[in-house]
């Protein structure tokens, strides 16, 4: 193994250094998803970086600060298309690394190699985003009665911005199914990943209004 590594040029080492760890994480993600542990931590445009207090790796959250103020009552029940997610970033790194490594040992110019690797990575992010967007649409169109969620406790999956300035996501058991729904809150402070909330109302067909448990 060490001999193989030493024979690589610096550009190949760079791409392999990205590709190999990313592939390992991608495989672990797939295994955890198959056995029921959802490892899908998204990057949401509100708040700050939050590492959560729980033991589950799914509680890791990267949250980018933003001044965007979106009126979700106006948007209604429109599903969100999340391009930048944790799964998407890992898929990007994996494809970026392997495609770059494949071209790094050829006569292709460095700039072209980098562009091809970036294109492959972005394409993989788009595929992942489209896949999970489709899954969320299928979930929303099911025969679940979301009104039955009112009064139930749920766990925050993606942080919920304060004062109804944005939406996060919560997970809960509804009709013997573990589901994920959009959520907003009137609380004056953001509700972080892993916190338990109470569903008190519905904004629209699949968006819940939640509050912290007193």
Residue 48 in 3-state DSSP? coil
Residues 6+ positions from 95 with CB-CB distance below 8 Å? 117, 120, 121, 123, 124
Instruction: Name the most confidently modeled range: 28-42, 99-113, 124-138.
Output: 99-113
**Can you count the helices (H) and strands (E) in the chain?**
5, 7
**147 versus 59: which is more confidently predicted?**
147
Does 2 have pLDDT greater than 90? no
Contact assessment for residue 168 and residue 158, using Cβ atoms and an 8 Å cutoff = yes
pLDDT at 33: 65
Residue 40, φ and ψ in degrees, nearest 5: -135, 85
* Residue appearing with tokens 């700050």: 48
Instruction: Identify the DSSP state of 108.
Output: S
* Tokens found for residue 138: 């299928």
43-72 in b/e form (b: 16+ CB < 10 A) is bbebbeebebeeeeebbbbbbeeeeeeeeb
Per residue in 181-212, pLDDT (tens digit) is 999 999 999 999 989 999 999 988 879 999 99
Does 109 have pLDDT greater than 60? yes
Which pTM was predicted? Answer: 0.44
Per residue in 136-159, pLDDT (tens digit) is 665 555 567 888 889 999 999 899
CB atoms within 10 A of CB 165: 18
Least reliable range by pLDDT among 81-90, 110-119, 139-148? 139-148
* C-alpha span between 44 and 50 (Å, rounded): 11
* C-alpha span between 38 and 34 (Å, rounded): 8
pLDDT at 138: 59
Q: Going from the N-terminus, what domains does the chain have, and what CATH number goes with each?
A: 2-212 (2.40.50.140)
Residue 157, φ and ψ in degrees, nearest 5: -105, -45
pLDDT at 106: 81
Contact assessment for residue 130 and residue 88, using Cβ atoms and an 8 Å cutoff = no
Per residue in 35-50, pLDDT (tens digit) is 655 444 444 434 444 4
Pairing of strands 153-158, 196-204: antiparallel
Least reliable range by pLDDT among 44-58, 69-83, 94-108? 44-58
Contact assessment for residue 61 and residue 159, using Cβ atoms and an 8 Å cutoff = yes
CA-based Rg of the chain, rounded to a whole angstrom?
20
């Amino acid at each position: 193994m060490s001999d193989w590594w030493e024979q690589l040029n610096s550009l190949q080492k760079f791409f392999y250094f990205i590709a190999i760890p990313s592939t390992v994480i991608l495989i672990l993600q797939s295994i955890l998803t198959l056995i029921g542990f959802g490892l899908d931590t998204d990057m949401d445009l509100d708040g700050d970086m939050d590492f959560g207090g729980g033991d589950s790796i799914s509680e890791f959250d990267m949250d980018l600060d933003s001044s965007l103020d979106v009126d979700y009552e106006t948007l209604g029940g429109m599903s969100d298309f999340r391009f930048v997610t944790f799964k998407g970033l890992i898929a990007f790194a994996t494809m970026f690394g392997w495609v770059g490594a494949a071209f790094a040992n050829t006569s292709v110019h460095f700039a072209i190699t980098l562009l091809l690797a970036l294109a492959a990575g972005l394409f993989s992010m788009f595929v992942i985003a489209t896949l999970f967007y489709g899954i969320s649409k299928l979930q929303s169109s099911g025969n679940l009665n979301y009104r039955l969620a009112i009064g139930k406790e749920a766990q925050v999956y993606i942080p919920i911005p304060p004062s109804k300035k944005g939406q996060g996501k919560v997970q809960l058991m509804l009709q013997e199914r573990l589901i994920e729904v959009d959520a907003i809150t009137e609380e004056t402070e953001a509700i972080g990943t892993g916190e338990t909330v109470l569903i008190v109302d519905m904004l629209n067909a699949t968006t819940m209004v939640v509050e912290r448990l007193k």
